[in-house]
Amino acid sequence: MSPNQIVPKLADNGIYLASESTFYRILKEQKMVNHRLDSKPSTKRYRPEEKVATGPCQVWSWDITYLRSPVKGSFYYLYMFIDVWSRKIMAAQVFDEESMELSAELFTRTCFVHGVRPEGLVLHSDNGGPMKGSTMLATLQQLGVVPSFSRPKVSDDNPYSESLFRTMKYRPNYPAKAFQSLEQAQSWTDDFVCWYNTEHLHSSISFTAPDDRHYGRDENILRKRHDVYEKARLINPVRWSRRTRNWNQIEIVRLNPESENSAGQHHQFKEAI
């Protein structure tokens, strides 16, 4: 027991031996100021457990990014949820504050809007207050959602959200100056989400649009691409020393793969864009 537990327990039994500071001084002299139980917490930060998605709405990732406001030093906050398997942006809402209540409300509303049953859904995020706040965690527990968190200060543990924000802020039409209002920030975000979900050909899902993959249209798209290449090879076989380009569907997506080394982490971050 620690001195701050010993002193009151002795007092409850009518005993006074010394103050807490004296206990600590004696322990230090005896080189006993350390954790003496088997339950000593490890200082090593283990990678989060691997999460595997084989279809939409199995694993989601989310995060918050800052958007500049017209007031120097003040920001708007973009909350964004993404489906890891399809890369579809499920929700993107701009608020004027970071809040666990807003996080819980937005997640609940997102599930309702998309008709998603949250039981068993894995929701991965960083370790910020809006992600790990009591209201958000209580909401996830009530809905049967499995929470998953990155290691503190390790962005590679949440590569899909980080990469999505990078893609967004590198768009040619991303404002060079601050957003003049929350409404303007939301309007720009809505346009980006529409483009990203319906037009952006994502490199990590065989260059299909997230919406097409999410709703099962990508299989037909990829099949047609394969047919085009096969016809081209038949017309001019000399140009094809090997098989045509692989247009197969990416069937499995892994978040924080167990066998991934540091080089693989960097590759995953780049490929998530």
Summarised one tens digit per residue, pLDDT across range 46-63 is: 667 889 999 999 999 999
Confidence of residue 266 (pLDDT cuts 50, 70, 90): very low
- 3-state class (DSSP) for residue 130: helix
The architecture that CATH gives domain 51-199 is 2-Layer Sandwich (3.30)
Query: 183-221: buried (b, 16+ CB within 10 Å) or exposed (e) per residue?
Result: ebbbebbeebbeebbeebebebbbebbbbbbbeeebeeb
Where exactly does CATH 3.30.420.10 map onto the chain?
51-199
Alpha carbon 58 to its chain centroid, in Å, reads 13
And the tokens for 253? 């997506």
Q: Which two tokens stand for residue 181?
A: 């209002």
Q: Which of 83-97, 179-193, 251-265 has the lowest mean pLDDT?
A: 251-265
This prediction has a pTM of 0.77
Residue % of the chain over a pLDDT of 90: 59
